[in-house]
Amino acid sequence: MAKKISKAEAWQLFKKGLAVGDVEKLTATPRRTLYNWFASYEKEYGLDSKKEEEEEVKRVKQDIKQVQILTENQVKTELEGIDFDSGWVDFATRKALEGCLVNGAIAQRLSDLMHLEISKSEPNYKNISCISTALNTHYRLQHLFGMFHLLDVNKAVQLLQNAGYTVVASVE
């Protein structure tokens, strides 16, 4: 069973970005006490600390978005020199290659952001969670999907039909 914590310890957890529910799961301190301590914490530090934290989370999200955009543009310019024939398989191959490279590069840059955030003297757990979620998404996209599903003829036909095209099968 978790132990009860003092008000100062609870304030330290609140300062690191944990919510009352998270602190409640970690400790045996009653919920009502935690809410009272959180209210006094907000009175003491005001809403400025909360706004600063929200601004930092927004900054991290903007950094993630900027990494995605820059990486996509970089990979697209690298693939411009490759000559692909005009066919569905070649298109799917190009898109699969582009998707894997983009998601791999984004994951690498997000790993660097994560390392910087973790190596801070007092890491912000909300920022770490945000970066971790984005990193998890791009690793999954890189390894599992990578747009290779475009090579499946049935999915390709369904994709075209969903886009409003009529696919007519011809037998020769």
User: Which is it for the CA torsion 115, 118, 124, 130, positive or negative?
Assistant: positive
DSSP state of 149: G
Please give the Cα distance from 76 to 74 (Å, whole number): 6
CB 113 within 8 A of CB 64: yes
pLDDT by position in tens, the chain (length 172): 478 888 888 888 888 888 888 888 888 888 899 889 888 888 887 655 567 777 877 888 888 888 888 888 887 887 776 666 566 667 777 777 777 777 778 888 888 888 888 888 888 888 888 888 888 887 777 665 555 555 667 777 777 788 787 877 666 5
Are both 60 and 40 inside the same structural domain? no
- Asked whether residue 131 is assigned to any structural domain, the reply reads yes
- Asked whether residue 167 is assigned to any structural domain, the reply reads no
Are both 79 and 148 inside the same structural domain? yes
Domain housing 32: 7-45
Are both 39 and 69 inside the same structural domain? no
Q: How many domains does the chain have?
A: 2
**What confidence score (pLDDT) does residue 113 get?**
85
User: Which is it for the CA torsion 40, 41, 42, 43, positive or negative?
Assistant: positive
- Asked whether residue 170 is assigned to any structural domain, the reply reads no
- Asked whether residue 168 is assigned to any structural domain, the reply reads no
pTM of the entire predicted model: 0.43
Are both 33 and 111 inside the same structural domain? no
